[in-house]
Structure 1
Amino acid sequence: MKLQTGGLGGLAFPASKHIRHAERQLVPLRLPSVRPQSAAQRRPGVLQTLAVASPGDVPKETGVRVASLTRPSLWSSGALSQLLLRRFGMAASSLAASLLLLAQSPAIAEQTIVRFPASPNPGIFAAQKTLVEAWTIIEDAYVDGRFGGNDWEGELSNALVSAYTADSSETAYRQIGTMLEKLGDPFTRIVPPSEYADFRVSSDGEVQGVGLLIAADPNSGKLVVLAPIQGGPADRAGMRPGDEVLSIDGTTTEGWDGDRAAKSLRGTSGSSVTVRFARRSEQVPGVAGRPEIPPRLEFKQVKLQREKLELSPVYSTAMEHDGHKLGYIRLVNFSQHAANDMEKAVTQLERGGAEGFILDLRNNPGGLVRAGLDIARLWLDGNAAIFNVQGREDNGHMAIMQRVILDAGNAVSERPLAVLVNGGSASASEILAGALHDNGRAMLIGDKTFGKGKIQSVFELEDGSALFVTVAKYRTPNMMDIDKVGIQPDTACTMGDPGHQAAAGVPVDRKTASSVLSQLQEDTCVLTAETLLESQLIHS
């Protein structure tokens, strides 16, 4: 990843023509600086880790093997970039993930040592390693250098002892979560490999599967197809919305939810999966005086070959209101493809005659902050401020608040804009909504937002799990602190989500799209937005 910075020790963002900084004094946020020992240096059965204590005399061995690691406190930019790429891979799923400390040279090395009993149980020992890996990242990257007032080294010792005496690897692994809970920050957490895989799907916007949106019917409990992704394997095989999935690779789906089915359908591109499903025919009206004929069930089985699919987080449609044509855009998350997909939707709708836009961020939990910045550029002209960010200094104290603004440029559309929000609009959704509102670009309609004024980085761990770490706090352009408070909309309105298909952001067939449009036309918040936009158009 190319970086542009404001100098040594500076705040670095992913290279983008849209982003620059107003101040020259930049926030030095740190990412973990851990130098692995070579295989020749490692001792069998000894965990390679570190603590933050100053070097000193090492107590004599008392049956407990000592683990040690040399950690440089300062890195050259090249060495650190290579380390992050090698050790953490996709280390960042947010703006803060690209906050990189470019260090002065020469590097200063310090050696610190932690002592603990390494379990002979492979599973418990693996949990111990993950525990220390998580502790190290928190120690280096967590936004609060006081760690919630806790003795962070002491918490490591307590967790290691609890893990060592655990009766199973599962119990030992839970000590990681117990340690993290001491921070009092629900957003700093460890995520197991399976859950992290789901997160990668939503943030990457890509999945290897058969292209089915599936959910359990809330009334019958049956697993039904909401929509196939157009052009995907399931769509090409003829699967339709409403089909009941009976089995996957011979295993009954009775009692399954949509998540379990999705995991079974995903897999390596090129591999195959067999799906058996039932399709109910249209019910035939009965003859007067006789009971109606029940719907006919048609059973089918298809063998689908998995392939790489792109999942669009954007659903858009044109709507008419009192003679005015408006564009409705629903964004379900801030994935890598979000900005490009939204730009296409805005351009297409405006070419079709859209005079104004409704941007629906309801129940959007956020995602990549970088995607939020790129989407803000679609709607904002000039050097617009997006938010103010505050990280941690090297000494553990909070850094100065820094204003993040866009480079000079032009918005894709100048049309009037209304943004729908609710209590499920969080994180990057609040950053975008706050930026559009505080810059006078859009009015907010709906319920108060979630109130998440923190930014997390995502660190991949060696066991395939991931550590979500709060690395910065932010405020809106007008310096409003929304954490645990939320953003109050300009106009109050309460209404549930649009239909499943719109919420999922997947391409749908014409019949389903017509159903979604019908639901939107009955959505009181959408109607409120249409009325307010119409008023703007009349007086413009």
Structure 2
Amino acid sequence: MIVASSCSSLQLRQNVVKPCRASLRPLVVRAAVRKDKPAVEPVTGPNELAKRVIGAALGTTTALSLILSPAIAASELVRLPASTDPAVFAAQRTLVEAWTIVGHSFVDPAFNGHDWEVELREHMMKAYNSGDGSAALGEIAAMLEELGDPYTRRIPPEEYAAFRVSSDGELQGVGMLIANEPVNGHLLVLAPIKGGPADRAGILPGDEVTSINGVSTEGWNGEKAARLLRGKGGTEVHVRLARRSAGIPGVPARPDPPPAEPVEYRDVSLRRERVQLSPLFFTTLPAPQLPPGTGGLMPISTDGRVRSSSGPVGYIRLTSFSSNAAAEMRDAIQELEAAGASAYILDLRNNPGGLVRSSIDIARLWLDGSPVVFNVSGREGDELQQQVVDTPGAALTHRPLAVLVNGGSASASEILSGALHDNARAVVLGDEHTYGKGRIQSVFELQDGSALFVTVARYQTPAGTEIDRIGIKPDRACSMGGAPTNTFVAGLPMVPGSSELLVESLMEDSCVMAARDVLQQQVAVVANAATVASQIPGPARGAAAAAAAAARVQAASGMRRAPALTDL
């Protein structure tokens, strides 16, 4: 998914809260739907609207009245009954809060053809008549469904906490990745996060989690266990582990099913702390050994083979666009450059997106200057505005780049792949179009701890390609044979040459191999042009150098035709 900003307030020009007569106990709301351009944008800060709504509710057990905008001060009061049930009344307050935020921020000012004030009346009455807090909260979802936008939604507090973990790139926990073993359903440790509490305690991949705080994990799924393992920093959680073999074979993220009888049980107390999750991992792949002349693009050699001295191919897989993704991408590129990478594969398959800011910052690492990353249109359908890299500079590397995508590449993944493609920096490979999510959401933290995601804008690629419901079409097709994308877990730091098993698995992935072959040809284009340029004496050398530079641009853009060397 794409998140433009994490907003916790909707600050309005005027908010007046006052109680109504106690005998009526109504919930009185001045309509907040603005037909004109919003005067105030959502910003990060204390949730003033929520504080005033809740404050009024706590200050009187009867009713509250809201005047939410001077622009509609003359409009008719909407008088609705407020439930005497505390849970229902709390849901009604949250519904009003969500309704107001959508009224000010939703990208479609026509609200999908619905009268937004009428929607408030209808769903507030249904919430009142429900007599049940859970059912009353359900009216918020029902109201938002009228907008016809699946991305505008409310998520409960526990889901919002999980979202904060994924977007912040850190959590308060024990640093242990767990999942159910596919054969018997037991909870296994996929891997301890390096340097975390579990790692320091000697917990290994394949250890079985049999109980947490004295409660058996039989029948639990990984998410239920993870909720208990997470908690306030500095507190302890007690875990019992069964180590069923001295050495666990197989890829760390997918240990083989253990023997029936355990070797030993261990009781471990782990102190929760802030754990940094890595949104990417990287390694190097050996350069292919191909005969010269393939496509006319192989570099000149004396032994009839392409020399591996061109360097390995750097492989980077990005699993999410969290707040620390750009910094880790920078570190990965720098380490791969030091390892002698001659080209790069950026794997965005099954990456659902994340923070828009992160996609812009990552594009900056691969692109020179201040290029356009995407075009955006907002609430009123204004002309497209160009979003550019706001800290221009030189790219970290100019080596050829291939981007891998699939139908699970969405949102910020589509922003980044579209930016790299349309700026002639990368060739895109995949087995199908990307997901097609061309909408940007802001996140509003509500007073009850839940969060409201609201679509506030739509975007296109720099070249004007529509993304929403269409997706990005790869330049070249590749099959998803090998399917290594499910064998690795985000949070495991990988460094060049650190995992032979990782490389072996990638070498069985046909899309990775197709990208590697394309990149090798692009490296050869540059090598051939540079070789010819160096051999041309005198005045023609300048033209040859220009042709070599053009070859580098051609290689970066994924063009297949070799430079016309006869024109040099």
Q: What TM bracket, shorter-length normalisation?
A: 0.7 to 0.9
CA 1:283 to 1:381, structure 2 compared with 1: closer, same or farther past 3 Å?
Answer: closer
Which residue is 1:352 aligned to?
339
Q: 145, 152, 169: which is aligned to 1:188?
A: 152
Matched residue type, 2:152? T
Residue of 413, 422, 428 corresponding to 1:429: 413
Q: CA deviation at 1:514?
A: 3.3
Partner of 1:383: 370
Matched with 1:43 is 19
Tell me the equivalent position of 1:197: 161
Q: Secondary structure at the match of 2:107?
A: coil
Q: Aligned to 2:449, which of 451, 461, 464?
A: 464
Q: Distance in 1 between matches of 2:143 and 2:260?
A: 57
Match of 1:409 among 350, 368, 393: 393
Question: In the aligned structure 1, how far is the partner of 2:493 from the partner of 2:247?
Answer: 27
1:336 aligns with 2:323: yes
Mapped pair 1:138 → 2:102: yes
- Asked if structure 1 preserves the Cα contact closer than 8 Å seen for 2:212 and 2:237, the reply is yes
Distance 1:509 1:477 in 2: 33
SS at match of 2:282: strand
1:227 shift after superposition: 0.6
CA contact (8 A) 2:484 2:509 kept: yes
Aligned to 2:84: 120
- Give the conservation status (yes or no) of the 8 Å contact 2:197–2:272: yes
Matched, 1:440 2:424: yes
Query: Match of 1:28?
Result: none
State the match for 1:93 in structure 2: none
Determine which of 428, 433, 436 is the counterpart of 1:451.
436
Deviations 1:516-537 (A, max 9, x none): 2221121111111111111111
How far apart are the structure 2 equivalents of 1:253 and 1:509?
A: 34
Larger Rg: 2
The answer (yes or no) to whether the contact 1:450–1:485 under 8 Å persists in 2 is yes
CA distance in 2, matches of 1:33, 1:72: 15
User: Which structure 2 residues correspond to residues 147-186 of structure 1 after superposition, within 5 A?
Assistant: 147-186=111-150
CA drift at 1:314: 1.4
Structure 2: runs of 5 or more not aligned:
50-68, 249-258, 289-307, 527-568
Aligned counterparts of 2:32 and 2:420: Cα–Cα separation in 1: 43
Describe the shift of the 1:81–1:271 C-alpha distance in structure 2 as closer, same or farther (beyond 3 A).
Answer: farther
Letter of the structure 2 residue corresponding to residue 473 of structure 1: R
Q: Secondary structure at the match of 1:321?
A: coil
Instruction: Summarize deviations over 1:87-109 as a string: whole Å, max 9, x none.
Output: 179xxxxxxxxxxxxxxxxx966
Distance of 2:128 and 2:32 partners within structure 1: 25
Match of 1:85 in 2: 45
Identity percentage of aligned residues: 51
Distance in 2 (CA, whole Å) between partners of 1:486 and 1:461 is 32
Where do residues 318-329 of structure 1 align in structure 2 (5 Å cutoff)?
Answer: 318-322=284-288, 323=308, 324-329=311-316
Structure 1 residue 71 displacement after superposition: 7.7
Q: 1:235 to 1:500 in 2, by over 3 A?
A: farther
1:225 alignment partner, SS class: strand
Q: Secondary structure at the match of 1:165?
A: helix
Letter paired with 1:432? L
Please list the CA deviations of residues 109-150 of structure 1 after superposition, one character each: whole Å capped at 9, or x if unmatched: 653533110100000001000111111111110000111111
SS in 2 for 1:116: strand
Q: Tell me which residue corresponds to 1:310.
A: 276
* CA distance in structure 2 between the partners assigned to 1:409 and 1:512 by the alignment: 31
Assess, with a 3 A threshold, how the Cα gap between structure 1 residues 510 and 484 changes in structure 2: closer, same or farther: closer
Q: Deviations over 1:245-272 (max 9, x none)?
A: 1111111111222211111100000000
Secondary structure at 1:420 match in 2: strand
* Structure with the higher fraction of residues in helix conformation: 2
Are positions 1:521 and 2:521 aligned together? no
Deviation digits for residues 426-458 of structure 1 (CA, Å, limit 9, x no counterpart)? 000000000001111001111310000110111
Out of 325, 344, 348, the residue aligned to residue 361 of structure 1 is 348
Question: In the alignment, is the contact (CA less than 8 A) between 1:283 and 1:294 conserved in 2?
Answer: no
Quick check: 506-515 or 428-437, which moved more? 506-515
Match of 1:301 among 267, 274, 281: 267
CA distance in 2, matches of 1:45, 1:133: 22
Instruction: Letter of the 1:382 partner, please give it.
Output: G
Equivalent of residue 209 in structure 1, options 161, 173, 177: 173
Q: What is the identity, as a one-letter code, of the residue corresponding to 1:532?
A: V
1:373 to 360, 363, 370: 360
Q: Aligned in 2, Cα 1:88/1:255: closer, same or farther, shift over 3 Å? A: farther
Q: In the comparison of the two structures, how many residue pairs are matched?
A: 463
- In structure 2, do the counterparts of structure 1 residues 88 and 349 end up closer, same or farther at CA, with 3 Å as the change threshold? farther
Counterpart in 1 of 2:190? 226
TM-score (norm 1): 0.80
Structure 2 SS opposite 1:365: coil
SS in 2 for 1:504: coil
Pick aligned residue for 1:273 from 233, 237, 249: 237
| Post-superposition offset of 1:66 | 5.4
CA RMSD of aligned residues (A): 2.9
Describe the shift of the 1:163–1:199 C-alpha distance in structure 2 as closer, same or farther (beyond 3 A): same
Report the Cα distance in structure 2 between the residues aligned to 1:404 and 1:509, rounded to whole angstroms: 33
Q: Which residue of 2 aligns with 1:494?
A: 479
Following TM superposition, by how much is the alpha carbon of 1:492 offset from its aligned partner in structure 2, in angstroms? 1.2
Task: Return the letter of the residue paired with 1:347.
Answer: Q
C-alpha distance after superposition, 1:223-248 (max 9, x if no partner): 11111001100011110111111111
Counterpart of 2:47 in 1: which secondary structure?
helix
Deviations along 1:308-367, one digit per CA (max 9) or x if unpaired, are 111110101112122240111111111110000000000011011011111010110000
Contact 1:277–1:299 (CA<8 Å) still a contact in 2? Answer: yes
Letter aligned with residue 265 of structure 2 = F
Contact 2:336–2:496 (CA<8 Å) still a contact in 1? Answer: no
Distance 2:127 2:108 in 1: 25
Deviation sequence 1:390-429 (CA, Å, 0-9, x none): 0013xxxx11111222244211111110001011100000
Measure, in 1, the Cα distance between the counterparts of 2:137 and 2:143: 11
- Give TM-score scaled by structure 2 length: 0.76
Distance in 2, matches of 1:125 and 1:136, equals 17
Give, in whole Å, the separation in 1 of the partners of 2:264 and 2:105. 57
Flag the 1:83–1:523 CA change in 2: closer, same or farther, 3 A. closer
Listed as ranges, the gaps of 5+ residues in structure 1 are 1-12, 15-30, 47-61, 90-106, 285-292
Matched residue SS, 1:183? coil
Contact persistence 1:70–1:109 (CA under 8 A): no
Q: CA 1:42–1:276 in structure 2 vs 1: closer, same or farther (change >3 Å)?
A: farther
Aligned residue type for 1:279: R
Give the partner amino acid of 1:466. A
